[in-house]
Structure 1
């Protein structure tokens, strides 16, 4: 039997080739092998880079897609807010316009009311002055006798007799018929009464006032008293005779007297229901008509 023939190896014996091949051939073969390896490495590296690039692109795309979605949501939110703000601004502007129109209307109404109030005030002052003149005219022939010690049960005839006797005591001529009426008044809890005497004319009134003033100047230690009226119960009770002033004139006279004392004015008096002030004989007479006038005099 024959043994099978030995198969030749398909892989060349590189060592034998290298040992038997020329050096140039070996070097060229080595270079080719290195180039092939380098190419294979470049191909692997390029494939890896391409894969990484594709992955980065996908990640970036996903990131940008997410950012776009987020931005769209935010933009929509901002747009909605801006729309709401715009609507609010429109509403505010409309409200402001409406309020401005109302303000103009209110200003016009206020101006009209102020003008009406001014006219009403002027009319009221005019009416008050007319009423004051009317009251002054009604009282022009009246006098007041204050601090009279009456019992309280006196009749009109008794009062008439007292006033008539006062005229006689002051040496003033008067007829009984010139004493038209007498009204007795007394404040609550007051011990003395006031007699308002209505006379027939202003001449009789003026004569009585002058006579009373002259009497007090001549009798500084024993001025007008109740004994001049024939009252014997309290004969030394001082009495005071003056014009029958209106409430407004009475208040002005009170304020004027206080002003006279505080500011060293020499004269303060009433005449026919009006109040007068005078600093001295060399200054003009001031007719006091209201409270504001006295305040102006205080500020000078």
Structure 2
């Protein structure tokens, strides 16, 4: 095995000097050294400086843009915050108004409910009153019919003589003389006891007031009425008038008929008007009842009240 030998420091130094000397004298080595120096000087060339300047300008522009965008965003954010704050304020105001409206509506609904309840109570009371009114009307009509029946029964013994002039300070005796003249004209014999009462009814001041004769029996009453009709039929040119009763002055017709109740008189008047308008030949009264007949031989119709006449007019 060969033994390695460590170079001495003197040898190394000499070797280094030798290399440096060689480098100084070697043209290739000198060229390489100048090339490296040229490269270090090329870092500060105009191209590099322009590039550095451009980068600086871009960086400055970026900073300006960033700062401007930041300002815009900050302003936008501030505007948005202000608008949002205003919007929230408006929303709160609207909420308050909605709350007030809701409260008003609730109070209104309560009042409406109260009014509705009152209306229902009033309607119920009105229905009750209407029912009571109808019941009372039915009762009143029933009572009126009863009173009418009583009055009709009272009139069953009475005769009414119309268009007979009265004397000044006329007495009952004067009226009895008129009755006696009527009975003689109709050829009816009547005892004084068969005459219960005689009087004049209230009437118009410019017309003779009717004379009411109350008799003892309805038979005598009906006979007098029938004989008066027969007399007029037999004496068509000289019907019963004031001359037959020995009353001075121009003759005036005398009418003898039933003494009707107040309601029957009104109904008889309406029935006569209806008969004229609808070509009914006959309209008369008998025992306090009003009758209509269209023509000779046709069926007679009893008129009970004005409602019946109205129904007849609707059906005519």
**Band of TM-score, shorter chain:** 0.7 to 0.9
For 2:192 and 2:246, the matched residues in 1 are separated by 16
For 1:173 and 1:224, the matched residues in 2 are separated by 18
* Contact preservation (8 Å) 1:225, 1:235: no
Alignment of 1:85-96 (within 5 A): 85-96=101-112
Q: Which position in structure 2 is the counterpart of 1:65?
A: 81
**C-alpha displacement at 1:62, in angstroms?**
1.5
Q: 2:295 aligns with which of 280, 283, 295?
A: 280
Q: Which position in structure 1 is the counterpart of 2:284?
A: 269
Structure 1 range deviating more: 105-114 or 202-211: 105-114
Q: 1:152 aligns with which of 161, 168, 176?
A: 168
Q: Which position in structure 1 is the counterpart of 2:198?
A: 182
Q: 2:264 aligns with which of 249, 261, 265?
A: 249
- How many residue pairs are counted as aligned between the two chains? 279
Please say if 1:131 is aligned against 2:147.
Answer: yes
| CA RMSD, 1 decimal | 2.1
Distance 1:188 1:269, change over 3 A: closer
Q: Which position in structure 1 is the counterpart of 2:181?
A: 165
Deviation per CA, 1:82-102, whole angstroms, max 9, x where unpaired? 111111221222122222222
Q: 2:254 aligns with which of 222, 239, 243?
A: 239
Please list every run of 5 or more consecutive structure 1 residues that lacks an aligned counterpart in the other structure. 1-20
**C-alpha displacement at 1:27, in angstroms?**
8.6
TM-score between the two structures when normalised by the length of structure 1: 0.86
**C-alpha displacement at 1:26, in angstroms?**
5.4
SS at match of 1:193: coil
Distance 1:25 1:90, change over 3 A: same
Q: Which has the larger radius of gyration?
A: 2
TM-score between the two structures when normalised by the length of structure 2: 0.82
For 1:117 and 1:192, the matched residues in 2 are separated by 42
SS at match of 2:175: helix
Structure 1 range deviating more: 98-107 or 197-206: 98-107
For 1:147 and 1:290, the matched residues in 2 are separated by 27
